[in-house]
Amino acid sequence: MQTNIMICGVGGQGIVLTSKLIAATAVSHNVPVMSAETIGMAQKGGSVFSFLRLGDGIASPMFPEGSADILIGFEPSEAVRMFPYLKKGGKAIVNTHPIMPVTAALTGSDYDGADMLDYIRRNTDLPVFVNGDKAISDIGSPKVLNMVMLGAAVATGLLPFTLGEIEETMKSTVKPQFVELNSKALRYAG
């Protein structure tokens, strides 16, 4: 069985770390894993994506459009940007909180994410919308958005891992004093 996951958002949101955490969980459960992501010019504030593939018989770290089982969008417009990769009937998990492009002030953009969410609603069945802004304020740390999104993705049952298994990996990768906070975030939307 193969699972293709597209994780996308804006640089600085913890996209790459999320991908790494799933990958590390896969390695510890002997599930073959490959990934590819943007590196380089996309600094803070740029579009960032990570292709993540789990399972046997995978040749390439990237997959074609229309073949992601899950799209985890950390930002509405970034979810739409990578939306073509989601397969028909695939699941979209999207943070509803928009991030203005850093150039918006210059161009006078009035982007607020609403059109993006409508688009996702119209073009996919039962998307999972996560109010990431409320989540991080409820939990009390802006740094755990990625764990909230990951928790919501795991809760769909489409990843080949349980929340507990992801949590085990998380415990071995974050500092002890942050374990509780991250556990709380993982379970927030689950």
Contact residues for another protein, defined by CB under 8 A: 10, 20, 23-24, 26-27, 30, 32-37, 39-47, 57, 59-66, 77, 80-81, 83-84, 88, 100-106, 108-109, 111, 115-116, 119, 122-123, 142
Nearer to another protein, 45 or 190 (CB): 45
Nearer to another protein, 16 or 152 (CB): 16
Alpha-carbon span 52 to 31, nearest angstrom? 12
**Tokens 């940007």 belong to residue:** 81
How many Cβ atoms are within 10 Å of 123's Cβ, its own excluded? 13
Q: Which of 150, 170, 126 is nearest to 13 (CA)?
A: 150
Alpha-carbon span 172 to 28, nearest angstrom? 11
Task: Report the amino acid identity of residue 92.
Answer: A
Smallest separation (angstroms) from another protein to the CB of 113: 9
Structure tokens that stand for 15 in this block: 């996209």
Smallest separation (angstroms) from another protein to the CB of 44: 6
Alpha-carbon span 72 to 91, nearest angstrom? 9
- Non-local (6+) Cβ contacts of 157 within 8 A are none
Smallest separation (angstroms) from another protein to the CB of 187: 25
Distances (CA, A) of 118 to 80, 103, 122, 129, 163: 10, 24, 6, 11, 29
Nearer to another protein, 10 or 149 (CB): 10
Smallest separation (angstroms) from another protein to the CB of 96: 15
Smallest separation (angstroms) from another protein to the CB of 62: 6
Nearer to another protein, 24 or 155 (CB): 24
Nearer to another protein, 42 or 163 (CB): 42
Smallest separation (angstroms) from another protein to the CB of 146: 15
Nearer to another protein, 105 or 126 (CB): 105
